């Protein structure tokens, strides 16, 4: 889902940078409300978001996919803004230092994976949490989140032939189903199972991390 440079036209790229500026601003404001003690934690969590993408999960079509981890971080930290900032920083590091995703597309990539994915995933989880239990809710949240983000990316690709010919050549009719089906069948189920297992595992091994808001901040060594 990392869109490289040259796939989106300049207007689309600029548009998503403009959209992301107020979102980043709001995200940073949300972070400043947190305990300063959480800052180092956010640093390592950002590293964690990066590392989640390193796990190559075998998928049904015989290749491997990776998950984004946005929903997972939003759920574990109980705050989707944390995921937005962490994923955005990861995407910038990846674009500049590792060539994953383009520099001109950082805005669009952050919007898809850093905003749509964690927010959709987190609110689906929140909505279902009391109905089906948090483990299953987190799996469904991760699934819906990644598929919605993929559809957004497909939509951005599909818009190109109409507004800026010469970039991504495929219209909606091709790009949206291509992105949606790939994620519905491959990366989606993998992300769902992995996210659910992580939530189950962390809750089982370290229930103390989640007993209260207060303990999330300070109770690690307790």
Give the footprint of other proteins on this chain (CB under 8 A): 4-7, 9-10, 13, 28, 31-32, 36-48, 50-52, 54-60, 64, 69, 72, 76, 85-86, 89-90, 92-93, 95-99, 102-104, 166-167, 169, 189-190, 193-198, 200-202, 205-206, 209, 220-221
Cβ 140 to other proteins shortest distance, Å: 15
**57 is written with which tokens?**
């999960």
Spatial distance between the Cα atoms of 106 and 88, rounded to a whole number of angstroms? 8
The residue among 148 and 175 lying less far from other proteins, judged by its C-beta, is 175
Q: Which helix (H) or strand (E) holds 205?
A: helix 188-205
Hunting for tokens 């994976």 — which residue is that?
A: 113
User: From the CB of 77, what's the least distance to other proteins, in Å?
Assistant: 10
Number of Cβ within a 10 Å radius of residue 49: 27
Q: What pairs with residue 57 in β-bridges?
A: 65
Size (the chain), residues = 222
Task: Provide DSSP, 146-173.
Answer: HHHHHHHHHHHHHHHHHHSTTSS---HH
Q: How far is the CB of 69 from other proteins (least distance, A)?
A: 8
Q: Which is nearer to other proteins, 72 or 151 (CB)?
A: 72
Report, in Å, the least distance between residue 176 CB and other proteins.
15
- Contact status, residue 142 vs residue 195, Cβ threshold 8 Å: yes
User: Least distance in Å: CB of 24 to other proteins?
Assistant: 8
Smaller CB distance to other proteins: residue 148 or 216?
Answer: 216
**Residue 197 in contact with residue 72, Cβ under 8 Å?**
no
Nearer to other proteins, 126 or 171 (CB): 171
């Amino acid at each position: 889902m990392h869109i490289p440079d040259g796939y989106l036209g300049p207007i689309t790229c600029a548009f998503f940078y403009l959209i992301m500026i107020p979102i980043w601003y709001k995200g940073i404001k949300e972070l400043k409300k947190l305990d300063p003690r959480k800052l180092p934690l956010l640093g390592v969590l950002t590293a964690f978001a990066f590392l989640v993408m390193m796990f190559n999960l075998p998928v049904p079509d015989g290749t491997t996919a990776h998950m984004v981890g946005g929903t997972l971080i939003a759920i574990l930290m109980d705050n989707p803004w944390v995921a937005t900032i962490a994923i955005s920083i990861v995407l910038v590091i990846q674009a500049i230092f590792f060539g994953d995703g383009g520099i001109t597309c950082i805005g669009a990539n952050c919007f898809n994976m850093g905003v749509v994915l964690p927010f959709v995933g987190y609110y689906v989880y929140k909505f279902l949490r009391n109905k089906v239990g948090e483990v299953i809710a987190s799996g469904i949240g991760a699934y819906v989140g990644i598929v919605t983000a993929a559809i957004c990316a497909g939509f951005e690709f599909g818009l190109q032939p109409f507004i800026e010919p010469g970039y991504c050549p495929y219209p909606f009719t091709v790009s949206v189903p291509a992105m949606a089906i790939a994620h519905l069948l491959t990366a989606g189920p993998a992300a769902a199972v992995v996210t659910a297992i992580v939530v189950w595992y962390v809750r089982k091994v370290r229930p103390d991390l989640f007993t209260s808001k207060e303990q999330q901040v300070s109770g690690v060594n307790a």
